[in-house]
Amino acid sequence: MVVQLKAVKIQKEKEDQVIIGQGNFSIYTTDNIFRDLLTTVPGIKCAVAMNEADPKLVRFNDNDERLGDLTAKNALAIGASHVFVIMMRDAYPINVLPTIRNVPGVCNIYVASANPLEVIIAETSLGRAVLGVVDGQSVDSIEDEEKREARRELVKKIGYILG
């Protein structure tokens, strides 16, 4: 059996937040995730796309046409069955991850980030699978006190208080 590896670059604007995961029962889970996003963060702009194994198509919902188009195209580019892609604005993953994890059809979350992303795909004669996600760039140094304080100030600025 031959396995081919490839990287799929996620298309997004810098401010777009992306969550990629895997679930089951696509015709149900797509709607559940979308509904739960809308009720978890009032005013969120979002889209959910999920790949269905049979009839081999991308199912999607959105309340923002640009996000809907990008989300569906990214899910199609990944191509692995039962993988979902969420793209959103006006919310952070930390606002919605607990809710998404509680959707009965959600099995796994690979990444939640606004960074540039590449999804590592394995392809066999049966189909595709997600092996992992490259999230941002490689790390090359350790935080010093000045950078630690800058991080803490940013966290406060966006509304999160350190205990």
Q: What is the CATH number of the domain that holds 108?
A: 3.40.1520.10
pLDDT at 163: 63
pLDDT at 75: 98
Q: Is the pLDDT of residue 59 over 80?
A: yes
- Please indicate, yes or no, if residue 155 is contained in any of the structural domains: no
Q: Is the pLDDT of residue 6 over 80?
A: yes
pLDDT for 120-154, tens place per residue?
999 999 999 999 999 999 999 999 999 999 999 98
Distance CA 5, CA 29 (A): 28
- Please indicate, yes or no, if residue 153 is contained in any of the structural domains: no
Q: Is the pLDDT of residue 161 over 80?
A: no
Helix (H, G, I), strand (E, B) or coil at 124: coil
pLDDT for 72-131, tens place per residue?
999 999 999 999 999 999 999 999 999 999 999 999 999 999 999 999 999 999 999 999
pLDDT band at 14; cut points 50, 70, 90: very high
Angle between helix axes 93-101 and 26-40 (nearest 10 degrees) is 140
Domain that holds residue 39: 4-140
The total number of structural domains in the chain stands at 1
Q: Which two tokens stand for residue 125?
A: 């004669």
Exposure string over 32-43, b if 16+ CB within 10 A, otherwise e:
bbbebbeebbee
For residue 37, give the H/E element and its range. Answer: helix 26-40
Distance CA 50, CA 67 (A): 14
- Please indicate, yes or no, if residue 162 is contained in any of the structural domains: no
Distance CA 84, CA 130 (A): 11
- Please indicate, yes or no, if residue 146 is contained in any of the structural domains: no
Q: What letter would DSSP give residue 111?
A: E
